[in-house]
Chains A and B, each alone.
Chain A
């Protein structure tokens, strides 16, 4: 449009790029999920600045895993407020792949932001125990499933990042994407804990698109997404879907309000649709604040409704 300056880089909407520097495809982008990344970056930058300003903070802190989601958020925060106001905390555990840490270090080096490494293995082991030595959980903890250990590790990372929020003096920026939030592929009060989330309304395919546009290293964009809770784990391997397929289905079911019959008519496998519908329904609780028993005349979230950041609430 006339006089439009959407991102500061370019005034014209550019076609979505999915091509890497070697000419091969970085990822598969379903056409209906294509977005204007210039507009997305502009909106997100304003959002990040607005959230910090309203809370009276100038800095941000985030947990950088080496995966695409947290890497993209790091780039977005750096673009919005400058890398010097961002601290990335790398929190590997015993199960994390070494490549995750080296990829995270590449992001830190590329952005030239401050960072620190907090090993959380000892926190997890302190609870569950190691070898034959019980931890705080007692003998039973030695038999804990990978799922329990993974959830615990995610909540230890949450505890650490909120401590770093205090020492760094910055708000915790969330890194969960829309796809994983909708299917419930998150740890409650773990990786989904944050002060605000700039990418929570972007499907994985859209995260990838913005990541390409903003310059996230290609190796991070290409690698298989993983919760990195145990060696060799991948999201798609564990859940038995591909992100492009899942994103498309969620887009039609949720964003475009298509019925089961209608999406089957679009070519989706009915069993896949049923399974994803169930995942979305059973994880509804993870996306909402816990209900409070209504007793008094005004109840938080029910009939006491204020903006999170009211006049006079900003720090400092």
Chain B
């Protein structure tokens, strides 16, 4: 048994009030330490609140901000994941999650996927990160940090696991919605997340740690329900939905080895195959190579063939003419990507 006690800080941050949230973080770090935790996880934007809009620039911190240093110093003897608005030297704003260890900011993950649809408007206010790396930790295993929407993209958990993470940590501010009766927990959002996390844990044969906030920002309510899923895909611990508090859960890190020996999915991954096909997709989308599934007659970079008609200019290169691809192109995609 390689026991690790994980503390979930399932809190309701005060919107835009960095000082109050910082004080709460310091309290909970201390409480987690007293409770014997080795890893403490705070939710997405736990230091600032979520629905910031134009407040984002006002609560942003550079990585050399003394408040962040103070938090790092308070995490001595622990591994802590905290989240805030990070301002880069060239004044871009990121939703960041940082791993604090041994009094230092050990690793920073900038949220890669910024949802800007439905009730979300993140891309308006934030810049997306460009780097996804697993990080070694004092816990003796690699950690993979991700923020909320990052886990709605399959490649995120896969890349983190292949890069050496054995614990995938997702920090979230997930707004609860879709009060469906059909859902196992009465909330469509929660059901979707629970499915994702179990699937990722199983497919990456890793622990998945999910810390989601509670409380209310403006119209939206956050549902909590923080969880840790074992590498076999089963929940080890599920925190209550909607309740504010620090929740402790014990996991056996040796489970990762057992699962990976029994089910060597990661061993059998084909990163060179995936990389090659992704490079092909990128070239096709950029119009640098014929799209193998586009309609016959579609220009490179487009997947629908414009209809040729007298007097109607089509295409972007010279006169309208025959298809630029082989006639045996695949079936129509029937819609835009």
Interface of A toward B, CB cutoff 8 Å: 1-6, 13, 16, 34-36, 38-40, 42-43, 46-47, 49-51, 54, 304-311
Contacts of A305 in B (CB 8 A): 53-54
Alpha-carbon gap, A256 to B202, bound state (A)? 31
Alpha-carbon gap, A8 to B195, bound state (A)? 26
- B242 and A1 within 8 A (CB): no
Are A1 and B216 also in contact (CB < 8 A) when A13-B185, A35-B179, A46-B242 are?
Answer: no
Rank and list the top 6 A-B pairs by shortest CB-CB distance, nearest first: A36-B186, A50-B216, A39-B186, A34-B181, A305-B53, A35-B179
Within the complex, which residue of B17, B54, B183, B237 is in contact with A311, where a contact is CB–CB below 8 Å? B17
Residue from B187, B214, B238 whose CB has the most chain A CB atoms within 10 Å: B187
Cβ of B67 to closest chain A Cβ, rounded Å: 15
Alpha-carbon gap, A4 to B242, bound state (A)? 9
Within the complex, which residue of A13, A46, A307 is in contact with B215, where a contact is CB–CB below 8 Å? A46
Contacts of B306 in A (CB 8 A): none
Give the size range of B's interface with the partner: 35 or more
Within the complex, which residue of B182, B187, B237 is in contact with A39, where a contact is CB–CB below 8 Å? B187
- Binary interface encoding of chain B residues 174-196 relative to chain A, with 1 for a CB under 8 A from any of its CBs, else 0: 00100111111111000000100
- Name A's interface SS: loop
B16 at the interface (CB under 8 A from A): yes
B55 at the interface (CB under 8 A from A): yes
Are A43 and B176 also in contact (CB < 8 A) when A1-B241, A3-B240, A5-B243 are?
Answer: yes
Contacts of B179 in A (CB 8 A): 35-36, 39-40, 43
Contacts of B218 in A (CB 8 A): 307-309
- B216 and A46 within 8 A (CB): yes
B266 at the interface (CB under 8 A from A): no
Contacts of A42 in B (CB 8 A): 241-242
- B238 and A1 within 8 A (CB): yes
- A16 and B181 within 8 A (CB): yes
Query: 4 extra interchain contacts, Cβ-Cβ under 8 A, other than A46-B214, A304-B54, A307-B52?
Result: A3-B238, A3-B240, A5-B243, A46-B221
Contacts of A1 in B (CB 8 A): 184-185, 194, 225, 238, 241
Alpha-carbon gap, A4 to B186, bound state (A)? 11
- A47 and B216 within 8 A (CB): yes
Contacts of B29 in A (CB 8 A): none
B45 at the interface (CB under 8 A from A): no
Contacts of B54 in A (CB 8 A): 304-306
- B16 and A311 within 8 A (CB): yes
Contacts of A46 in B (CB 8 A): 214-216, 221, 242
B250 at the interface (CB under 8 A from A): no
- Binary interface encoding of chain B residues 1-35 relative to chain A, with 1 for a CB under 8 A from any of its CBs, else 0: 00000000000101111000000000000000000
